[in-house]
Amino acid sequence: MANPTIAASAYSAAANLLNPADSAEGGAGSDPAFGQLVQSAIEEVKKTGQASEAQTLDLVQGKANVVDLVTAVSETELAMETVVSVRDRVISAYEEIMRMPI
């Protein structure tokens, strides 16, 4: 199950890339750089992983429900798969650009 907050922020970031004039601050100067977008996505995945680890520790201590743990682990797995997929696409695009004749 995907975290709605992560999905909403990803869709918002993608929409801002496509329509910079529609962003909250407006103007092209407010667009985040690609590196910043990647860094924020990695931070979200890191937070999701930390939440999953906290759920695991809570379950071991008897404070959490198994369903909550499975949900947290699934969200982390989905986030990691998304990051790996994006990484593979970026590498593929880079390799294709490198093959282009100048």
Q: From CA 48, how far away is CA 37, in angstroms rounded?
A: 17
- Integer Cα distance of 17 and 19 in angstroms: 6
How many residues can be counted in the chain? 102
Whole-structure pTM over 0.85, yes or no?
Answer: no
pLDDT in tens, 86-98: 889 999 999 999 9
Q: pLDDT tens digits for 18-53? A: 555 554 454 455 567 888 888 888 899 999 999 999
Q: Where are the domains of the chain?
A: 4-99
The answer to whether the beta carbons of residues 17 and 25 sit under 8 Å apart is no
